[in-house]
């Protein structure tokens, strides 16, 4: 199917700022202003349009929007002049199809409208003649003639002349009666009409940004409502609330943060769920939401709008209740679409207590882990599951104290698993990495006794770093001495101790993780505190780990991370996750 076309239900006929308009009802004179380029569709575009029109077989069929502004008011609609802001390519191609059918003698009338050009006055005349000998006179003529010839080739491909005429007659009927455009009359600002139109054209066409579903829904809604000012004010109120960074991060999550130009579009999408068999992760089809909601709005705009207001109130209610905020926010942040939650709640009509219980079940299904298997999770094999589990631990920590988790600080970042204590410098292969590692670890050594000789060794190597022979082997030997010094004998771990297990992992943004890479606990502790002092965001449980919050006082060795620290940390994880672990 042509990417510029969509199948949609039968429309309203009332003239309004936004409506469906059969191609046969498009009339008047369309003025293409100077800020637009000329006609540029290639033969593939033209063939796809013809194929789609023919394949629709007379079923209701719509093309994407034609955006216009009236140029004054004419008593006769056929004499009305329109500024054509968007849709020049579609409207011109349709004009050429009508013209070809008329010229072959298959129908008496050509297109019921005309097109003129502010800076290419000759193009209007050429559009009526399409003489091949003049097609090379300018680039506009070339594209117009090529499209017209492509239309002729398409009809010739239908068979003998008699059969071509039958095809043309059917296609003409389709165009006049069944094929429609989404007709959108942009708001008029007489005091600055040209600049406003040019800005709208730029928004629609730079990067081919189409009219959004929200814009189309709003225009239709206001055209149907007898309380347009009230609805417009309520619409703006909802949009303003959703633009609050904390509310938007909670309800939209990472995936949707950059997807919506108009944030109310998230709620509209929830009211127009995709089919159950629609491939997960695939982009929503253009104008699917508008097409789905249009019939409801036309049938009973009041009921539709009341549901929108109810959804808005529900979102704010969820946001203000810390427990619900945190549970829903976690599900959204870990991949659940807001629309799924809304439609589930709306369908089941759950009470608040039942809703919270069902949220717990959803979270349990999301992390999908038994307590007995928690220690078996591995950095290498279960990375994404561990990310979700540690995010949930941070969220639940704030829920326990009646606070909302700051999803605004969480979304938009790439999160990673940080080893709380690393016992080697493997993975560092560049001179810059070696130098940075030595400098950071040298800062931590003065906190420990008997480290003067080691600090001097680091300083001596750094002094000749650029010219030293066998730098790699010297770094490896010196880094191991540093690690041995910064790892308490009673706190050393072996691979069998689970260096990659959950009790040696914490959540950190990837940018911050890169600063802490392959560092021992004391170095990481200092860097975490430095990031925290600088105003960076450190998840609360990660901060607690490096401040030894979970370790009993009699077991604390502030500079080291060992077995008793890990056991205390693991108990805290189990305690916080207990409501969500699979029995």
* Owning domain of residue 184: 5-211
Asked if the structure places residue 375 within a domain, the reply is no
Show Cβ contacts of residue 243 under 8 Å, excluding neighbours closer than 6 positions.
Answer: 263
Asked if the structure places residue 389 within a domain, the reply is no
Same domain, yes or no: 230 and 193: no
- Residue 276, Cβ neighbours under 10 Å: how many? 5
Please, are residues 325 and 403 in contact by the beta-carbon 8 Å criterion?
no
Asked if the structure places residue 380 within a domain, the reply is no
Number of structural domains in the chain:
3
Same domain, yes or no: 338 and 230: yes
φ, ψ for residue 135, nearest 5 deg = -70, -20
The reported pLDDT for the residue numbered 298 is: 85
Same domain, yes or no: 100 and 153: yes
For 294-335, the pLDDT digits (tens) are 889 989 999 999 999 999 999 999 999 999 999 999 999 998
Query: Has residue 426 got a pLDDT over 80?
Result: no
Asked if the structure places residue 90 within a domain, the reply is yes
Same domain, yes or no: 159 and 239: no
Rounded to 10 degrees, the C-alpha dihedral 414/495/368/251 comes to -20
Domain boundary among 211, 237, 263: 211
User: Which DSSP symbol is given to 423?
Assistant: S
Same domain, yes or no: 204 and 57: yes
Burial 55-74 (b: 16+ CB within 10 A, else e): ebeeebbbbbbbbbbebeee
Same domain, yes or no: 9 and 158: yes
How many whole angstroms separate alpha carbon 439 and alpha carbon 426? 17
Same domain, yes or no: 496 and 562: yes
User: Which DSSP symbol is given to 179?
Assistant: E
Same domain, yes or no: 487 and 536: yes
Same domain, yes or no: 236 and 168: no
Same domain, yes or no: 165 and 265: no
Asked if the structure places residue 218 within a domain, the reply is no
Higher pLDDT, 461 or 269: 269
For 217-268, the pLDDT digits (tens) are 887 888 778 888 899 889 989 999 998 999 999 999 866 556 788 899 999 9
Same domain, yes or no: 191 and 276: no
The reported pLDDT for the residue numbered 4 is: 42
Same domain, yes or no: 171 and 242: no
Asked if the structure places residue 37 within a domain, the reply is yes
For 161-185, the pLDDT digits (tens) are 999 999 999 999 999 988 888 888 8
Asked if the structure places residue 379 within a domain, the reply is no
Asked if the structure places residue 253 within a domain, the reply is yes
The reported pLDDT for the residue numbered 208 is: 47
Q: Could you tell me the two tokens for 413?
A: 């970042």
How many whole angstroms separate alpha carbon 2 and alpha carbon 497? 59
């Amino acid at each position: 199917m042509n990417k510029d076309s969509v199948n949609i239900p039968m429309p309203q006929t009332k003239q309004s700022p936004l409506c469906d308009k059969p191609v046969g009802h498009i009339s008047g004179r369309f003025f293409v202003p100077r800020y637009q380029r000329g006609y540029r569709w290639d033969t593939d575009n033209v063939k796809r349009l013809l194929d789609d029109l023919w394949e629709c077989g007379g079923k209701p069929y719509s093309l994407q929007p034609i955006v216009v502004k009236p140029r004054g008011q004419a008593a006769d609609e056929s004499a009305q002049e329109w500024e054509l802001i968007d849709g020049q390519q579609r409207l011109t191609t349709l004009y050429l199809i009508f013209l070809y059918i008329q010229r072959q003698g298959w129908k008496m009338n050509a297109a019921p409208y005309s097109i003129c050009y502010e800076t290419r006055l000759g193009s209007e005349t050429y559009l009526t003649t399409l003489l091949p000998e003049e097609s090379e006179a300018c680039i506009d003529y070339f594209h117009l003639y090529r499209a017209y010839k492509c239309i002729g080739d398409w009809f010739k491909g239908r068979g003998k002349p008699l059969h071509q005429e039958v095809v043309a007659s059917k296609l003409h009927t389709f165009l006049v009666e069944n094929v429609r455009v989404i007709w959108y009359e942009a708001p008029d600002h007489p005091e600055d009409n040209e600049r406003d139109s040019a800005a709208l054209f730029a928004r629609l066409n730079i990067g081919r940004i189409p009219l959004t579903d929200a814009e189309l829904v709003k225009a239709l809604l206001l055209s149907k409502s007898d309380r347009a000012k009230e609805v417009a004010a309520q619409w703006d109120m909802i949009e303003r609330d959703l633009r609050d960074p904390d509310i938007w991060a909670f309800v939209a999550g990472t995936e949707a943060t950059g997807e919506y130009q108009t944030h109310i579009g998230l709620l509209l999408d929830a009211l127009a769920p995709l089919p159950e068999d629609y491939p997960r992760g695939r982009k929503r089809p253009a104008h699917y939401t508008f097409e789905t909601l249009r019939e409801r709005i036309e049938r009973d705009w009041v009921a539709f709008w009341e549901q929108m207001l109810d959804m808005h109130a529900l979102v704010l209610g969820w946001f203000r209740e810390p427990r619900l905020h945190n549970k829903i926010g976690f599900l959204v942040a870990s991949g659940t679409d807001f629309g799924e939650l809304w439609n589930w709640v709306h369908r089941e009509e759950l009470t608040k207590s039942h809703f919270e219980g069902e949220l717990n079940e959803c979270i349990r299904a999301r992390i999908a882990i038994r307590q007995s298997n928690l220690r078996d999770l591995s950095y290498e094999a279960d990375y994404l599951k561990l990310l979700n589990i540690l995010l949930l631990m941070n969220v639940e920590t704030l829920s326990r104290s009646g606070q909302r988790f700051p999803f605004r600080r969480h979304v938009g970042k790439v999160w990673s698993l940080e080893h709380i204590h690393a016992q080697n410098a493997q993975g560092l292969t560049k001179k810059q990495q070696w130098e940075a590692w030595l400098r950071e670890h040298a800062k931590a050594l003065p906190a420990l006794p008997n480290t003067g000789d080691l600090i001097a060794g680091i300083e001596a190597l750094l002094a000749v770093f650029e010219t030293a022979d066998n730098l790699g082997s010297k770094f490896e030997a010196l880094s191991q001495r540093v690690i041995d010094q910064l790892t308490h004998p009673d706190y050393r771990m072996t691979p069998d101790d689970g260096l990659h297990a959950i009790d040696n992992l914490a959540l950190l943004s990837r940018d911050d993780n890169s600063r802490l890479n392959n560092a021992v606990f004391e170095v990481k502790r200092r860097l975490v505190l430095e990031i925290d002092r600088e105003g960076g965001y450190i998840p609360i449980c990660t901060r607690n780990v490096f401040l030894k919050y979970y370790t009993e006082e009699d077991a604390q060795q502030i500079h080291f991370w060992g077995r008793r620290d890990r056991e205390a940390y693991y108990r805290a994880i189990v305690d916080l996750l207990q409501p969500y672990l699979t029995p």
